[in-house]
Amino acid sequence: MKHTLSVLVENKFGVLARVAGMFSGRGFNIDTLNVAPTQNPEISRITATVHGDESHLDQAIKQLNKLVNVIDIKDFKTGQFVARELLMVKVNANSETRSEILQICDIFRAKIIDASPTSVIVEVTGNEGKIKAFYELIEPFGINDLARTGNLALERRMFS
Near a second copy in 85-144, by CB under 8 A: 85-86, 88-90, 113-114, 116, 118-119, 121, 123, 125, 139, 143-144
Q: Nearer to a second copy by C-beta: 103 or 118?
A: 118
Q: Nearer to a second copy by C-beta: 61 or 125?
A: 125
R_g of the chain computed on alpha carbons: 18
H helix or E strand, kind and range, residue 56: helix 54-66
Minimum gap (Å) between residue 129 Cβ and a second copy: 14
Q: Go through the chain and tell me how many residues it has.
A: 160
Q: Is 146 in the site for a second copy (CB under 8 A)?
A: yes
**Residues whose CB falls within 8 Å of the CB of residue 37, separated by 6 or more in sequence, listed in order:** 11, 43, 44, 45
Interatomic CA distance for residues 91 and 97, integer angstroms: 10
Q: Is 76 in the site for a second copy (CB under 8 A)?
A: no
Asked whether 55 and 25 are in contact (CB, 8 A), the reply is: no
Alpha helices in 32-140 (DSSP H): 54-66, 98-107, 128-138
x/- string (CB under 8 A) for a second copy, residues 20-49? Answer: xx-xxx-x-xxxxxxxxxxx-----x-x--
Interatomic CA distance for residues 91 and 82, integer angstroms: 28
Q: Nearer to a second copy by C-beta: 102 or 150?
A: 150
By CB under 8 A, name the binding residues for a second copy: 6, 11-14, 16-17, 20-21, 23-25, 27, 29-39, 45, 47, 82, 84-86, 88-90, 113-114, 116, 118-119, 121, 123, 125, 139, 143-150, 152-158
